[in-house]
Amino acid sequence: MEIIKEINKNILAKDICFIPTMGALHKGHVSLIKEGKQSSLPVIVSIFVNEMQFNDKEDFNNYPKPIEEDIKVLENFNVDYLFIPENDYVYPKNNFEKVSSGELGKQFEGSSRPGHFDGVLTVVNRFFELIRPKIAIFGKKDAQQLFLINEMVVNKKYEIEIIASPTIRESSGLALSSRNSLLTNRGKDKAALLYKVLKSTKKDFYSTGKTNFLENFSSNYLDEEIDIDYLEILDLATFSKPAENTEEFIILIAAYIENLRLIDNIDFKLEGK
């Protein structure tokens, strides 16, 4: 594995598969890497904790940064390039495009994390400009991020294939996330409730067709355990409220556990459609 701080001509000459990360790699990232390896293209993984997408300085400072362990993981999986750029390389002074995530960027995750998606799109766009990948892989756990990136690729007419990789879960149902390492064992048990809530919400939706989930929940039970920020069902194709002709749905949840913000989602097709 070659560790690089800047993109060179060799890389630009190749059709390459790009996997952006912020490090603190876990099995979810490993599954992205395995997916990348299947493309049979050389794989470049970036590790860059993008301060621009953190609306909360403390969250940025606390974000786990175990670089030595990350390097071992990537070496084990025979990744071709590890790209660890400096901030000035990604963001040359006043000379980069700030990408707006528009109205959708202000909703759901964006409503609690102002500026977050502008930061995500700006850095992903910079990486696309620098690396010019043929394929880029993102996790489905960050569903709104994935949607906005797909939209950006269409708007900017990038010829990049975006692969959405399924969420990896612990046996408890807890979706893997770099932030999980900051939870206590008790916190992890509570965090596993997110997936349970998603599944029972899906059941509710099937049986009642109602979409005002939070009002339907016995909030006492949930409040004691987890502090839910939003629980929404959307049309997966438009990321807006489901319509008559919606075929695929996504239920999103965000909650605070031990002061950490966790998100998860499930998507599904309505049976019989």
Residue 201 DSSP label? H
Q: Note whether 21 binds ligand PAF by CB under 6 A.
A: yes
Q: State in angstroms the smallest separation of the CB of 192 from ligand PAF.
A: 21
List active site positions. Answer: 29
Q: Note whether 110 binds ligand PAF by CB under 6 A.
A: no
CA dist 231 and 220 (Å) reads: 16
Q: State in angstroms the smallest separation of the CB of 50 from ligand PAF.
A: 4
Q: Note whether 251 binds ligand PAF by CB under 6 A.
A: no
Residues 6+ apart with CB under 8 A from 147: 104, 239
Of the listed pieces 15-23, 64-72, 84-92, 215-223, which binds ligand PAF according to CB under 6 A? 15-23
Q: State in angstroms the smallest separation of the CB of 123 from ligand PAF.
A: 5
Residue from 142, 229, 232, 264 in contact with ligand PAF (CB under 6 A): 142
Residue from 7, 11, 17, 22 in contact with ligand PAF (CB under 6 A): 22
Using an 8 Å Cβ cutoff, are 30 and 73 in contact? yes
CA dist 142 and 161 (Å) reads: 17
Helix (H/G/I), strand (E/B), else coil: 184:
coil
Size, binding site for ligand PAF by CB under 6 A: 10
In this chain, which residue has its C-beta nearest to ligand PAF?
A: 20
Q: Note whether 20 binds ligand PAF by CB under 6 A.
A: yes
Residue from 50, 107, 125, 167 in contact with ligand PAF (CB under 6 A): 50
Q: State in angstroms the smallest separation of the CB of 31 from ligand PAF.
A: 14
The residue behind tokens 């900017």 is: 156
What is the dihedral sign for C-alpha 60, 63, 69, 75? Answer: negative
Closest to ligand PAF by CB, 92 vs 200, is 92
Residue among 201, 177, 171 nearest 260 (CA): 177
Helix (H/G/I), strand (E/B), else coil: 47:
strand
CA angle 102, 108, 114 (to 5 degrees): 60
The residue behind tokens 């960027």 is: 105
Q: Note whether 120 binds ligand PAF by CB under 6 A.
A: yes
Q: Which residues bind ligand PAF (CB under 6 A)?
A: 20-22, 50, 53, 120, 123-124, 142, 145
